[in-house]
Structure 1
Amino acid sequence: MKPADIPENEEERLKLLDSYKILDTLPEEDYDAIAKIASSICNTPIGLISLIDKERQWFKSHHGINATETPRNLAFCAHSILNPDELFIVNDATKDDRFFDNPLTTEKPNVVFYAGAPLNTTEGHALGTLCVIDNKPNSLNDSQKESLKLLANQIVGLLELRKKNEELKAVNNKVTQLNEQLNTFAFRLTHDLKSPISGVNFLLNVLKEDHSNLFENTAAENYISLITNRMGYMSSLIDEILEYSRVNTENIVYEDFNLGTILKSILNNIDFDDKIALNSKDLDIQINSSKIGFVQIFQNLISNSRKFSNKEKVFIEVDFKKDKQFYNFIYRDNGPGVEEHYWEKVFNMFETLENGNNENTGIGLATVKSIIERLGGKIFLQNREDGKEGVCFHFYISKKDVLDSK
């Protein structure tokens, strides 16, 4: 028996093999199918996808035998990777000086015929082989040889795709970690800012209520009013950043709730001057989703309708329907609407419309979008179907069983 030589590029080859994170992974249907197809095309009882590690050959797929690995010094595939540009074929191992006394030939699985197509990467390294094995002398015709090479290329394609997916996962995990750190930082910063802002607001109220005579009809009175307005804006900004941070860090809790009841509760808390009229259809219905998420979504939408309304009365319409996968909503109001070139921008953080409203922080709709996306949905703006003035938000949210299946 003559063990195979070690390739000159062995160190780089092993390093590249390790980068695929494929060794000792569970069986996968795509690889098993290729091994089976190779065995069928070549009319052999055994088909293997073999990867040559430092001390062993490990089978990613093993059609026709139960073994998952063998010592490298016994491996036919260790010879095959020495010539990555061609098939390695042994028609009768019992008559070959390199293999006639090899335990893999003299004992089970009784390798007599062997044909291996190297698994060559773009860097020029052979990671292993796609091989077919018979227990008797055999040979391949030109068509079978070509098929074996093409199938080997498919395996390399799967390995490359796997590697790219693993790299994307690593990047996504890093981005997720950084986002979590950023959200935590934003939450702590804004939470810590609430106390001094509350203190300034308290002092401003003291000045206005107890010492108003000192500032009446003076420039200082205007300055105090300006400071009060700006502090109100800062308070709103901090509250909305806190809400946005919570949306992206807190776990989603699913529960049953009545959609109509939620909307009525929101209106009771927002519509303190009886300015809003809600026209809704088919909302007296139980759904299972994030109750807190729905409160935040509609609270932001309704607050915006009230805040930006140019009418004495705010009319809001909410349409709802469901299908097998989603809860679907259309939200309309009778306000000034949003110009089409802003339809995507309004969902960006801190993006505000040029409408002169100093109360707008540009966070509310970003929060709405974030909630909906976490619930497996999407939100977008369109023109109202009836041609009337006003916003028209379309959004959908995945049902819990749909999200669980992904």
Structure 2
Amino acid sequence: MITPALPANEAERLEALHRNDIMDTVPEREYDDITLLASRICGTPMALVGLIDDRRQWFKSKVGFEGEETRRDLTFCAHAILKPEETMVVPDALQDKRFFDNPSVTDGLKVRFYAGTPLMSPDQQVLGTLCVIDPEPRKGLDPAQLEALEALAREVTTQMELRLAKKTLAEKNADLEKLNAQKNQFIGMAAHDLRNPLQVVSGYSKLLSNNLLGALSADQGKVMESINRNCELVLKLVDDLLAISKIESGELQLDLQAADIIPVLRKNVELNGFLAESKRIRISFGADSESLPVRMDAFKIEQVLNNLIQNAVKFSHPDKTIDVRTEKKGGMIVVSVKDEGQGI
């Protein structure tokens, strides 16, 4: 028996093998289908997908064989990977000086015929072989069988590439989910920290505006009105940040109650009408029913509708109309906000 030599690029080859992180993994149908096809096409009772590390050959998939691994120095495949550009064929191992006294030939499997095609990684490192084995000697594989075996070997490496890509993608997704959770936590903390001092400022400004701390001049009243308006705007932005944080973290809770949605919509349209009138924009409201009872979180509905209408006002030109409508379609209530702006 001749002990197989090490490939000249052994260090790089082992690095490529370990990078695939496939050694000692569970059986997978994709590989088992390939070995089954190799066995059937080549007419051999045994077929293996064998991967070779520094000390052993481990079988990712096997047909007609019970072992999990074998010593590297005893395996035929360790010889096959020395010429990665070709399929190694051994018609009769008893007549081959490399294998005639190999334990796999003289004992156990009684291997006589072997054909192994190297498995090449994308960076042209040989990771192991797809091989077929027969306890009877054979002249070899016919051209069609050889072509099929080499095609199946390429499919093995394709499956390995897909497996590695899926693993890498799963790891990146896990990292993104972790970052997203940290972002939501930061937004929630920042929003809470901003809201408390803003509420204090808003409270004092309202005291001043209502002359509870002394009378204000006309100019002072205008200034306080501007402060109040901007406090409310910033508080709304902070509330939106809190809502986004809760939605993305799955912590948003809805206060669902039976109510009529029509008054909620009318009130929102009326409140936004003042802003629209300042830009010479008209908001119309229409409903196909006087009453539309639903289960809803009225506050959240007002928030969503308010954002839609305010965006419509913001991007509409003067003398245009914003149409807010609601109608019942099947078992659902549809609310639409249509404007004549430029769109996205």
Query: Which bracket does the TM-score occupy, shorter chain normalised?
Result: 0.7 to 0.9
Question: Structure 1: how far apart are the matches of 2:203 and 2:294?
Answer: 44
Question: Structure 2: how far apart are the matches of 1:54 and 1:187?
Answer: 51
Question: Structure 1: how far apart are the matches of 2:306 and 2:330?
Answer: 20
Identity of aligned residues (%): 33
Which residue matches 2:184?
Answer: 183
Alignment of 1:348-359 (within 5 A): none
Unpaired runs of 5+ residues, structure 2, are 271-284, 314-319
C-alpha displacement of 1:267: 6.5
Question: Structure 2: how far apart are the matches of 1:24 and 1:80?
Answer: 21
Alignment of 1:312-351 (within 5 A): 314-319=324-329, 331-333=334-336, 335-337=337-339, 339=341, 341-342=343-344
Unpaired runs of 5+ residues, structure 1, are 322-328, 343-406
CA 1:193–1:56: 2 relative to 1, 3 Å:
same
CA 1:263–1:105: 2 relative to 1, 3 Å:
farther
Alignment of 1:75-224 (within 5 A): 75-138=75-138, 139-211=140-212, 214-218=215-219, 220-224=220-224
CA 1:23–1:284: 2 relative to 1, 3 Å:
farther
* Max Rg structure: 2
Please give the TM-score of this superposition, normalised by the length of structure 1: 0.70
CA 1:10–1:273: 2 relative to 1, 3 Å:
closer
Post-superposition CA distance 1:354-397 (Å, at most 9, x none): xxxxxxxxxxxxxxxxxxxxxxxxxxxxxxxxxxxxxxxxxxxx
Which residue matches 2:49?
Answer: 49
Post-superposition CA distance 1:253-297 (Å, at most 9, x none): 9x9x9xxx75737767776689677658xx9999xxxx98x995x
Residue identity matched to 2:186? F
Say if 2:258 and 2:294, in contact at 8 Å, map to a contact too: no
| 3-state SS of 2:218 partner | coil
Which residue matches 2:316?
Answer: none
C-alpha displacement of 1:198: 0.6
Question: Structure 1: how far apart are the matches of 2:198 and 2:105?
Answer: 82
Question: Structure 1: how far apart are the matches of 2:75 and 2:147?
Answer: 23
CA 1:318–1:242: 2 relative to 1, 3 Å:
farther
Say if 2:59 and 2:69, in contact at 8 Å, map to a contact too: yes
User: Alignment length, in residue pairs?
Assistant: 320
CA 1:197–1:81: 2 relative to 1, 3 Å:
same
Say if 2:42 and 2:141, in contact at 8 Å, map to a contact too: yes
Which residue matches 1:244?
Answer: 244
CA 1:299–1:84: 2 relative to 1, 3 Å:
farther
C-alpha displacement of 1:232: 0.3
Residue identity matched to 2:96? D
C-alpha displacement of 1:180: 1.6
Say if 2:264 and 2:302, in contact at 8 Å, map to a contact too: no
Question: Structure 2: how far apart are the matches of 1:66 and 1:252?
Answer: 54
C-alpha displacement of 1:146: 1.2
C-alpha displacement of 1:315: 3.2
C-alpha displacement of 1:248: 1.0
Residue identity matched to 1:111? V
Question: Structure 2: how far apart are the matches of 1:127 and 1:94?
Answer: 27
Which residue matches 1:72?
Answer: 72
Which residue matches 2:282?
Answer: none
Say if 2:47 and 2:130, in contact at 8 Å, map to a contact too: yes
Question: Structure 2: how far apart are the matches of 1:231 and 1:94?
Answer: 91
| 3-state SS of 1:122 partner | coil
CA 1:263–1:108: 2 relative to 1, 3 Å:
farther
| 3-state SS of 2:117 partner | strand
Post-superposition CA distance 1:134-185 (Å, at most 9, x none): 0110121111111111111111111112222222222222222222211111
C-alpha displacement of 1:207: 0.8
Which residue matches 1:264?
Answer: 259
CA 1:284–1:210: 2 relative to 1, 3 Å:
closer
CA 1:162–1:312: 2 relative to 1, 3 Å:
closer
Question: Structure 1: how far apart are the matches of 2:340 and 2:29?
Answer: 50
Say if 2:326 and 2:333, in contact at 8 Å, map to a contact too: no
Say if 1:266 and 1:295, in contact at 8 Å, map to a contact too: no
CA RMSD, 1 decimal:
3.4
Residue identity matched to 1:141? D
Question: Structure 2: how far apart are the matches of 1:320 and 1:169?
Answer: 40
| 3-state SS of 1:214 partner | coil
Residue identity matched to 1:231? C
CA 1:22–1:339: 2 relative to 1, 3 Å:
farther
